[in-house]
Chain A
Amino acid sequence: MDYTFDFASVVAAWPQFLEGAWLTIQLSFPATVIGFVMGTLCAIGRRSAVRWLSKLCGAYVEVVRNTPLLVQVFLVFFGLSSLGWKVPAFTAALVALVINVAAYSCEIMRAGMDAIHKGQLEAAECLGLTRRQVYWHVILRPAMEKVYPALTSQFVLLMLATSITSQISVEELTATAARVQSETFRPFEAYILVAVAYLALSLLMRAGLWLFGLAVFTRRRRLGTGVAR
């Protein structure tokens, strides 16, 4: 193998990579927040006594979790345009990511809610809390606390999965590497650099989510049990 590595020409394109990384963040952050809220609502729907609602939420989760994100991205991208809606690739990507992460969050949150002890609910009822109060204070917040580590990993996986949106011409980090390599003819170096960038992003994200957990779940902090182990 007589190949001389030349990272200099690739590194010289750092402003482009920075821009790509910024777009990756712009994709993952709203997708995570919106997807989590939607997923939580879906989990509530799934636990509802209304049969059709519960079935519908269940079917949604199963369909999304058993098809590849790449296909979902294509379906949303081409589906929206065949409905006559001209949306930019970024919007289509965001919609697909939200649909995807909502299903996974739903499953995780449902597991957390199901793990709430029945005695807790009965105690809340005895205290005369309304349904909404019970959901918020007794079910949702403790459930979130319980499944926070799983949610953290899922959100990091989502950030990594945004790389797939490069296939519908969203100019995020992976697409940047493709562009830079076509300018410099250094594909290997470009993708190694991008891999390092993703690694840094995922470590930063883990650290950020860990700090967020510490700040939000104050009870856990007082008890001295770690949030994300």
Chain B
Amino acid sequence: MVDGGLNLHHLQFLAVGALWTVCLSLIAFVGGGIAGGAIALCRISPLKPLRWLTIAWIQIIQGTPLLVVLFVCYFGLSIMGLELPGLVAASIAMIIYVSAYLGEIWRGCIEAVPRTQWEAAECLALSRWQRMRLVVLPQALRIATPPTVGFMVQIVKNTSLASIVGFVELVRAGQLINNSTFQPFLVYLIIAAVYFAMCYPLSVWSRRLEQRLHFGQRAAAP
């Protein structure tokens, strides 16, 4: 490895890139989570226009590749006269992307809470907001955890696209190193291994959570 030109500095550079991948993933998850939560609530709102608007949003974002969303953000912001670094464009694109997917996932989780729970809460004369906050959301949270952790894998993997608008995360760091060492296969293998090391624990965690959830449901069944 050493004689090929790949040295410790390169690995250090990759490590910094990996750190940025984690940062971008966190930004995307937190930002997208907040927006996604709002979208999930709007998606089941009693107000029709709000419902339609979010359905349209989800359909549009889920029907276009993240790469194109990323380019639209990147160039869209620059024609607004803002000279933005790749990180901002990538963050905005990722938040948009995550909001649509998490919104739809969480909507499903909220609707998976048994109807009788809603009805019982209504019988107790709770307001819609109280019903949501005290009865439905805590139960939905339990159902939502495994798919949300699973989706985090998608987020981490998709941050790789930020390399295309020049943001130096893991893949871009690899490309830069490759420009000096000319060992693309080796470099990309290392990158793939790093991604695997980040994503695999999340996958396993998600699976465990799911098993536990289903175990709980089985045990509770009469």
Which residues of B have CB within 8 Å of A1?
Answer: 79-81
- Most interface-central of B66, B157, B199, B200 (chain A CB within 10 A): B157
Which residues of A have CB within 8 Å of B160?
Answer: 68, 70-71
Q: A71-B171, A188-B76, A191-B75 are in contact. Are A78 and B64 (CB under 8 A)?
A: no
Return 30 A-B CB contacts under 8 Å, by A number.
A3-B79, A65-B153, A65-B199, A66-B195, A67-B157, A67-B196, A67-B199, A68-B157, A71-B171, A71-B195, A74-B184, A75-B185, A75-B188, A160-B63, A160-B65, A174-B65, A174-B71, A187-B75, A188-B72, A191-B68, A192-B72, A194-B68, A195-B60, A195-B68, A198-B63, A199-B59, A199-B63, A202-B63, A202-B64, A203-B63
CA distance A78 to B186 in the complex (A): 9
The 7 closest A-B pairs by CB, nearest first: A78-B184, A66-B199, A163-B65, A68-B160, A187-B75, A68-B157, A160-B65
Q: A70-B171, A195-B64 are in contact. Are A188 and B75 (CB under 8 A)?
A: yes
The contact of B67 among A3, A65, A166, by CB within 8 Å, is: A166
Which residues of B have CB within 8 Å of A65?
Answer: 153, 199, 203
Which residues of A have CB within 8 Å of B39?
Answer: none
Which residues of A have CB within 8 Å of B65?
Answer: 160-161, 163-164, 174, 198
Which residues of A have CB within 8 Å of B185?
Answer: 75, 78-79, 82
Contact at A164–B184, with CB atoms within 8 Å?
A: no
Question: Which residues in A have some Cβ–Cβ distance to B below 8 Å?
Answer: 1, 3, 62-63, 65-72, 74-75, 78-79, 82, 156, 160-161, 163-164, 166-167, 174, 177, 181, 187-188, 191-192, 194-195, 198-199, 202-203
Which residues of B have CB within 8 Å of A79?
Answer: 185, 188
B185, chain A: closest CB distance, angstroms? 5
A44, chain B: closest CB distance, angstroms? 21
CA distance A156 to B196 in the complex (A): 24
Contact at B60–A71, with CB atoms within 8 Å?
A: no
CA distance A103 to B192 in the complex (A): 16
CA distance A83 to B144 in the complex (A): 45
Asked whether any CB of chain A lies closer than 8 Å to the CB of B121, the reply is no
Contact at B81–A164, with CB atoms within 8 Å?
A: no
Contact at B68–A174, with CB atoms within 8 Å?
A: yes
Asked whether any CB of chain A lies closer than 8 Å to the CB of B99, the reply is no
Contact at B72–A68, with CB atoms within 8 Å?
A: no
Q: A67-B199, A188-B75 are in contact. Are A75 and B68 (CB under 8 A)?
A: no
Contact at A191–B71, with CB atoms within 8 Å?
A: yes
Asked whether any CB of chain A lies closer than 8 Å to the CB of B126, the reply is no
The contact of A164 among B60, B72, B161, B203, by CB within 8 Å, is: B161
Known A68-B171, A198-B63; further 4 A-B contacts with Cβ < 8 A: A75-B192, A79-B188, A188-B75, A199-B60
